């Protein structure tokens, strides 16, 4: 369960460029909710995820995850509760380490591993099983350095790393935007399967309106640092892309960019 209460962030305080990046944002997610987040550039979408993950310190408000107050907790301390993927496939992995070494680092997150070195046999078996679920053949390339993988393979691996120890919350910041359409669809299908299988509470920023309505069970629309629209249940289920675009324009008083129609 995630609760945000009146969360605000101001950029460039006390200067001529002062701007409210988040303006008293409140949001409640139940455990297992998969929420898609849409809005124009500068609407506050990534800032919202950065506030939750601890990348940005909030000015005021409260962030509670599974009854833990994260409001002013340092980012590295939140990492054991939160998994995150970025738009850039190069983020989130160590390119000069092998696939199994990267998974080993992710698997040790928040756990005591003792003084033993290397990958244990039991862990290696687990990694192979998890990788086989991706359907990319990575289970047969465990000794391959991650820097040699394609963008789609790296993003799928990063997704596996973020969820191999089931997080309380998964944050996806346009994690398919840098991939070609075929690979993006493949990574989205893998994402959906992992989220459903593990019942992971998830927030996903996307510029793809079709994906925003197809995946998850809720959609929130942001504009000028605020959540201006929340869709769920039958209303969301029956919503068309055209209806959502019109609703957004009427609510936020702006139109979707061409990029958001993809």
User: Please, which pLDDT band fits residue 114 given cuts at 50, 70 and 90?
Assistant: very low
Q: What percent of the chain has pLDDT over 70?
A: 92
What's the CATH code, domain 2-261?
Answer: 3.40.50.300
Q: What percent of the chain has pLDDT over 90?
A: 77
User: Please, which pLDDT band fits residue 115 given cuts at 50, 70 and 90?
Assistant: very low
210 has a pLDDT exceeding 70: yes
Q: What is the pLDDT of residue 111?
A: 58
Q: Of 4-8, 30-34, 125-129, which gets the smallest average pLDDT?
A: 125-129
Q: What is the pLDDT of residue 89?
A: 86
233 has a pLDDT exceeding 90: yes
Q: What is the pLDDT of residue 118?
A: 60
Supply 132's token pair.
């086989």
């Amino acid at each position: 369960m995630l609760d945000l209460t009146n969360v605000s962030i101001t950029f460039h305080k006390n200067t001529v460029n002062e701007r409210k990046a988040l303006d008293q944002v409140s949001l409640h997610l139940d455990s297992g909710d998969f929420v898609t987040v849409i809005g124009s550039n500068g609407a506050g979408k990534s800032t919202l995820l950065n506030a939750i993950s601890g990348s940005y310190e909030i000015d005021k408000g409260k962030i509670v995850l599974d009854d833990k107050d994260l409001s002013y907790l340092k980012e590295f301390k939140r990492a054991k509760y939160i998994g995150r993927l970025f738009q850039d496939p190069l983020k989130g992995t160590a390119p000069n380490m092998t696939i199994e070494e990267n998974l080993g680092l992710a698997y040790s997150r928040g756990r005591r591993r003792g003084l033993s070195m290397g990958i244990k046999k039991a862990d290696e078996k687990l990694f192979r099983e998890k990788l086989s679920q991706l359907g990319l053949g990575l289970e047969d390339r465990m000794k391959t350095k991650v820097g040699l993988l394609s963008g789609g393979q790296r993003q799928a691996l990063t997704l596996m790393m973020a969820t191999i120890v089931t997080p309380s919350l998964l944050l996806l910041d346009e994690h398919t935007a840098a991939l070609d359409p075929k690979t993006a669809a493949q990574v989205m299908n893998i994402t959906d399967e992992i989220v459903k299988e593990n019942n992971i509470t998830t927030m996903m920023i996307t510029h793809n309106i079709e994906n925003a309505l197809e995946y998850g069970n809720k959609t929130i629309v942001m504009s000028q640092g605020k959540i201006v629209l929340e869709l769920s249940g039958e209303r969301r289920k029956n919503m068309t892309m055209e209806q959502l675009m019109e609703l957004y324009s009427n609510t936020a008083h702006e139109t979707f960019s061409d990029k958001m129609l993809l």
